Amino acid sequence: MEDHAQSTTITNKPYNTIITKQRCRQQALLVLFYEICQDALVPRIKNTHMNWILLVFAGLFEVAFTFCLEKVKGLSGLPMYGWYGGFILSLVLSMALLMKAIQTLPIGTAYAVWTGIGAVGTVMVGIIVFKEPATCWRLFFITTLICSIVGLKVVSH
């Protein structure tokens, strides 16, 4: 990589691209905009109990975005774009809430609980809404997953 004191560009030889100061400023503005939007979506919360609530909502929005993905199957036109919009909105909200929740919660525990809520919720939506089979083994393992999520909440301090 070449870096000259008087130069206004940096050449990145492996990718054969030129990164200008203007592009760096644009990227810095995008990062700043993202940080502002992130704090506007969900303010910083230091209360651990409140972050558990945010984590539950993040998991529910995960269920919502998987639901939207299922609903878009076989659609075209305006209804398809509506479900894609719901998917994107649910995804953004789920990620924003998860990012806020991990400010005071252990990342491993929070991620396991988030994916567990999403998995259990998605299976339940599949059974109730999409009429997927509710076999004895399927319900047994979903119950095991729920017990594991509750156990993680209890033991994480």
* pLDDT tens digits, 69-113: 999 998 888 999 999 999 999 999 999 999 999 998 999 999 999
Greater model confidence, 76 or 3: 76
Highest mean pLDDT among 8-12, 34-38, 151-155: 151-155
Q: CA-based Rg of the chain, rounded to a whole angstrom?
A: 21
My answer on whether 20 and 88 are in the same domain is no
- Asked if the model's pLDDT at residue 5 lies above 70, the reply is no
My answer on whether 10 and 69 are in the same domain is no
Q: What is the arithmetic mean of pLDDT over 45-66?
A: 92
My answer on whether 144 and 89 are in the same domain is yes
Tell me the pLDDT of the chain averaged across its residues. Answer: 83
Domain holding 77, by residue range, is 45-155
My answer on whether 20 and 50 are in the same domain is no
| d(C-alpha 149, C-alpha 141), whole Å | 12
Q: SS3 for 106?
A: coil
Q: How many domains does the chain have?
A: 2
Angle at 122 between CA 118 and CA 126, to 5 degrees: 175
| Residue 102 · residue 63 · CB < 8 Å | no
